[in-house]
Amino acid sequence: MFQFLDTAHHAILTAMLAPALLMTATASLLVSANTRLARVVDRLRSLIVEWAHDAPDREHRDIQINRHRQRAQWVLRACQMLYLGMGSFVGTSLALAGDAFLGFKLGMIPTVLALIGVAFLLGACFAMWREVSLAVGSFDVELDQELARRRA
């Protein structure tokens, strides 16, 4: 009898490892996304300071500010999806433990929670892809402006 309980216990813990690995990956993406958000906010603040001085290239600065605002919104969406994904993976892990405790009566709940978490993770990846694309586009515009200014 104890052998069966020991085997079941290990099977439950093993099943709980997959959501734990996904939580670790999600946490890593969250660190990256939050770092990107901080950089966007810092850049926006510096643009606002420059904007306040009413420089001659104010129109270009307005465009940059709008681009960085868009970037911040995309990073925010990614963070929100990553937090929801993290919650889904935690819920999956708890549902797996609860399902075993209740005699496997929860049916598809752990699987559905895991799928929801993976869907949020996928959505966050698309949001970060969009933000990175905007970042590169913004850099290209700034570089073109600087090269044109130096050539003039």
| pLDDT per residue as tens digits for the range 83-140 | 999 999 999 999 988 888 888 899 999 999 999 999 999 999 999 999 999 988 888 8
Eight-class DSSP state of 1: -
Q: Is the dihedral of CA 75, 67, 45, 145 positive or negative?
A: positive
Q: Which of 104, 122, 137 is a domain's end point?
A: 104
Say if residue 88 is in the same domain as residue 120: no
Domain count, the chain: 2
Say if residue 22 is in the same domain as residue 95: yes
Q: Which helix (H) or strand (E) holds 102?
A: none
Average pLDDT, the chain: 85
Whether the predicted model's global pTM rises above the 0.75 cut: yes
Say if residue 26 is in the same domain as residue 91: yes
Which structure tokens are listed for 65?
């500010």
Closest CA to 86 of 15, 14, 19: 19
C-alpha pair distances (Å), 141 with each of 92, 95, 101, 147: 44, 49, 58, 10
Say if residue 68 is in the same domain as residue 119: no
Say if residue 15 is in the same domain as residue 45: yes
Say if residue 81 is in the same domain as residue 109: no
Eight-class DSSP state of 46: H
What is the structure's pLDDT at 120?
97
Say if residue 91 is in the same domain as residue 116: no
One-letter amino acid of 96: L
Residue numbers of the domain that contains 135: 105-151
